[in-house]
Amino acid sequence: MAKPAIKVHIQHHGNMMCDYKWLLVNAEWLASKSNPNPPSTWGPCPTHTVVVDHPDGRLLFDTTCPRDWQQHWKNAAAQNWFPYEDVAPEQYFEERLKQLKLDPSDFKYVALSHLHLDHAGNLRTFRNTDIRILVHQKEYQGAISIPGEVQGFHLKRDYMVDGLRWVQLTEDTEIMEGVRLFEAPGHTWGTMCLMVDLPNTGTIIFTSDAAYMRESYGPPPVGAAIVWDSLGWLNSVERIRSFANMRDATIIFGHDPKQIKEIRLAPEAFYD
C-alpha cells in the first residue's frame, strides 16, 4: 500500500539562552580543584514546532514559547535561566503560522511532547475550538497536581486554561496513518516523541526533550540536569534508538543549536 502524501514543516522560533550545563552533564564544563573556573557555556537553545500536513488532517507538535514571555513567565525560573531573548519578530509562533498561510483553526490536532513552558507556551491560542489537544495522561495528571502556580518549568497558566479539548493518551498511539506519538518518559512524567513516516524522506523522529542534543543521544547517552527520572530517561533514549535503528530514521533533537542550522526549515523548505 502506498504511503499517504504527508509533508512535514519544521518551524524555528528563535532561541532561548542558557548555560549548556543544564542540558548536558559534561565533566569538562564543571568546576574542579584542578579547574576551579571553567569557561562559560552560555549560548543559544533553539526552540521549534512541527507542522504535519496529512490527508486526514493537520497536526501541530508543540507550541513553543509565548511572545509575551517576560510577563507570562513571571515568577518562573526560566525567565532567568532560559530567557527567550534571541528571537526575531518573524520567528514568533503566530508569525511562523502566517508564513505557512495557516491559522490556528486549520489544525485537527495539537500534540504536546510535554507541558513545560517552552513547549506549551501558546496553548491559549487553541481555546474554545474543536481542535483536539493530545497529551500523555501521566503528564497531564502530574502537571495539574503541582503545588502552587509554578514548579520547575511547569507553569499552570499555560495549560490550566478553560476551553481546551484535551485527549489524554495512555500508550503509544497512531494518530493518523504514518503519524505516531510514542512514550519516552524521564524528562517529565509523560514525555512523548513524534514519529512520522514520509514517502520520500523515510521516517523522522522528533525527540523533543527526551534527547536535547546529538551529544545527549550518544551512544552512550549523556544525562542532563533537568530530568525527573534519570533511569526512565535513559531507558527512553534507548527506546528512541531502537525505533531509529529499526526504521533507519532521521532524528531531530529537541534543542540542538548545531542541528537547527543543518535541517530544512519552514517556510522555505519541508520534508515529504
What single string gives the DSSP state of each residue in 33-87? SS-SSPPP-EEEEEEEEEEEEETTEEEEE-----TTHHHHTTT-THHHHS---B-
- Residue 183 belongs to a domain: yes
Q: How wide is the angle at C-alpha 63 spanned by C-alphas 181 and 85, nearest 5°?
A: 135
- The C-alpha atoms of residue 44 and residue 257 are separated, in whole angstroms, by 6
- The C-alpha atoms of residue 25 and residue 27 are separated, in whole angstroms, by 6
| Sequence-ordered list of residues with C-beta below 8 angstroms from that of 172, at least 6 positions apart, any chain | 180, 181, 182, 183
Which range marks the domain in which residue 136 is found? 7-27+40-261
Instruction: Specify the number of domains making up the chain.
Output: 1
- Residue 221 belongs to a domain: yes
Q: How wide is the angle at C-alpha 157 spanned by C-alphas 153 and 162, nearest 5°?
A: 140
- Residue 271 belongs to a domain: no
Q: What is the pLDDT along the chain (272 residues), one digit of tens a residue?
A: 567 899 999 999 999 999 999 999 876 777 888 888 888 899 999 999 999 999 999 999 999 999 999 999 999 999 999 999 999 999 999 999 999 999 999 999 999 999 999 999 999 999 999 999 999 999 999 999 999 999 999 999 999 999 999 999 999 999 999 999 999 999 999 999 999 999 999 999 999 999 999 999 999 998 888 899 999 999 999 999 999 999 999 999 999 999 999 999 999 999 99
Residue 172 cell numbers, joined: 503509544
Is the previous residue joined to 267 through a cis bond, with omega within 30 degrees of 0? yes
For residue 150, count other CB atoms closer than 10 A to its CB. 19
pTM of the model: 0.96
- Residue 44 belongs to a domain: yes
CATH number at residue 187: 3.60.15.10
- Residue 12 belongs to a domain: yes
- The C-alpha atoms of residue 164 and residue 133 are separated, in whole angstroms, by 7
- Residue 247 belongs to a domain: yes
